[in-house]
Amino acid sequence: PVSGILVDVPCSATGTGSRRPDVLRRDANLGNLLDTQNVLATHCADNILAMYGIMVYATCSLLALESEDQVRKLLARGTVQGEAVMKTVPFEPGEIPGFDNAIDENGWLRVLPGVLEGDLSSCDGFFVARLQKVG
């Protein structure tokens, strides 16, 4: 088991649409993507992450289905086959300079294209949640 893992799941890439408009016109098989995201996140949490380890779940998608909803599913699983539950480790204001306004009520980062200020104003859209495996 590892103490930390980044789970940057395959996604629809809708957060890159301002820079790559072709992604908004392509037919992504969202059902397959959602299944893959869930399988990857669950496998990492249950089989790769050590107890009290940190998992960062990330997408470059603007769709809650691929981001917030997937994390909610992971958190709602509770104890499964003796495996520990996951909890959110919220991002705090000041922790990541320039992203304070992107921290939502759950402590997750939700960035929309063009919303950040200064050098970050051309940033693509994305989502990041930090979770911990607890006993």
What average pLDDT does the structure give for the chain? 89
Please name the amino acid found at residue 64: A
Read off the pLDDT band of 81 (50, 70, 90): low
Give phi and psi for 98, each to the nearest 5.
90, -5
Q: Tokens at residue 113, please?
A: 């294209």
Read off the pLDDT band of 80 (50, 70, 90): low
CB 124 within 8 A of CB 113: yes
Whole-model pTM?
A: 0.89
- Catalytic residue, from 11, 44, 60, 123: name it: 60
11 carries an active-site annotation: no
Tell me which residue has tokens 């997750």: 108
Q: Tokens at residue 27, please?
A: 């037919």
> What pLDDT shows up at residue 13?
87
Tell me the domains of the chain and their CATH numbers.
2-134 (3.40.50.150)
> What pLDDT shows up at residue 59?
97
> What pLDDT shows up at residue 77?
85
Query: Tens of pLDDT along 48-58?
Result: 999 999 999 99
pLDDT-above-70 percentage for the chain: 88
Q: Is 8 annotated as a binding residue?
A: yes
**pLDDT at residue 26 greater than cutoff 80:** no
